[in-house]
Every structure is written in C-alpha cells, then in structure tokens.
Amino acid sequence: MQSDSPLDTLISAADRALRSVFAPARASRPMPTLAPAAEAPATGAPALSEVEKRTSAALMRVNHAGEVAAQALYHGQALVARSAATRDLLLKAAREETDHLAWCETRLKELDSRPSLLNPFWYAGSFTIGAVAALMGDRTSLGFVVETERQVEGHLDEHLARLPADDARSRAILQTMRADEIAHGMSAKTAGGAELPSPVRALMRNTARLMTATAYWI
C-alpha cells in the first residue's frame, strides 16, 4: 500500500484541526444515560435551578475544552509518530474522543450555554505539545498518553463530585468518558508507553490546571 505524501499528511492534519475546532462534532455512539434505577424518566426528572445549571455548564465547558485539547494532542502525536501501529492507536483514540466532544457540545446546548471561546488556542497549544512529545520517540509519546489519561481520570473524578446531584445527564456523560480515558491509557501502556520523569508530569498538571481554570469562565 502506498503511503501518503508529506503534503497529503499535512492536509489531513489541517482538516482534522478545522473539524475539531469549528465543525459540529458527530458522535458514533448514542448519548450516555445512567441505569434506569439511577435516572428518573425525563418527565419526572428534577429540574436544575439556575445556579445548578450554571455550575453544570461551567464544568461541561471545561470538559469540552479538554476534549478539544485531547483531539489536538492525539493529532499532533499521530502526525510525527514513528510507526504505523502507534499512529493507528492515536488516531483510533482521537476518533473515540470525538464522541466525548459531541456529547459535551450537546449537553452545553441543553444547558443554554456555549463552549470555551479559547478553543482554537487550546487546540493549537495542545497540538504543539503532542508533536513535541512524539518527536522524542513512540515510547515517550505513548507514555505521554498514559500520563495524560491518568490526570484526566482524576480531573473527571473531581467534576463528578462537583456536579449538582440532580444532573444525571452530565453525570452519565462524564462516567462514560472516564471509562474511555482509562481504556486509552491502558492501551498506550500495553503498547510500550514509558514512564515520564516527575518534572514532566508536574508541568502537565500545571498546564492542565491553567486550561481548566480559564475554560470554566471563558
């Protein structure tokens, strides 16, 4: 099979970037729901107060921004991956993250809110970080995925604790996202992801905190 030319690869990367930031995301899986015992029928579900809606919307805006960043990280890593197997793993994970993007986008609309205005910035910065990580080799790049997903799991645990108790819609989305992120991290570790040095892990945490704190409001 003939491999893509460098120009084809760059065009594909640009197309993925434009779709991730500007086009409505399309999920390949249905919107998650909680088990019937944990989620009341829509007609009987408690309505969120305005304060609760604002809290849920802010949290889901952060998660939407995080999914934009996740897309960018995977796309940047895939662009310069050394092996086809690593590239395929990264792009498969990115496709699954598109579901998360679509679900968060839908939930934001339901909450009468909007995504972060800084999404183009989050994408550009994360794409650069992903490409730099991949330039260090596939094992380091996969290790970056492992650590990223480990931190995202903790971030989602925090958001699940902060969600209004009656917001079953958002809770179902975050629980499904959490399971997917754990699976992505395990896949990258199994594929040979290397443990990252402590200073790198700390830098990743601080960068994520900056993004989440900003996206909560903007």
Task: Read off the pLDDT of residues 143-199 as tens digits, 9 standing for 90 and up.
Answer: 888 988 888 899 999 999 999 999 999 999 999 999 999 999 999 899 888 888 788
User: What does the pLDDT average to over 3-17?
Assistant: 55
Hey, what CATH topology would domain 48-215 get?
Ferritin (1.20.1260)
What SS3 string covers 26-95? CCCCCCCCCCCCCCCCCCCCCCCCHHHHHHHHHHHHHHHHHHHHHHHHHHHHHHCCCCHHHHHHHHHHHH
Q: What is d(CA 103, CA 213) in angstroms, rounded to the nearest whole number? A: 21
pLDDT score of 80: 86
Of 197 and 127, the one with more pLDDT = 127
The domains of the chain are located at: 48-215
**Global confidence as pTM:** 0.81
Q: Please, are residues 75 and 13 in contact by the beta-carbon 8 Å criterion?
A: yes
**28-82: pLDDT as tens digits:** 888 898 755 444 444 445 688 999 999 999 999 999 998 888 888 888 888 888 8
| 3-class DSSP state of 193 | coil
User: What does the pLDDT average to over 14-40?
Assistant: 64
Q: Please, are residues 115 and 61 in contact by the beta-carbon 8 Å criterion?
A: yes
User: What does the pLDDT average to over 4-11?
Assistant: 55
- The answer on pLDDT for 136 being more than 50 is yes
pLDDT score of 42: 46
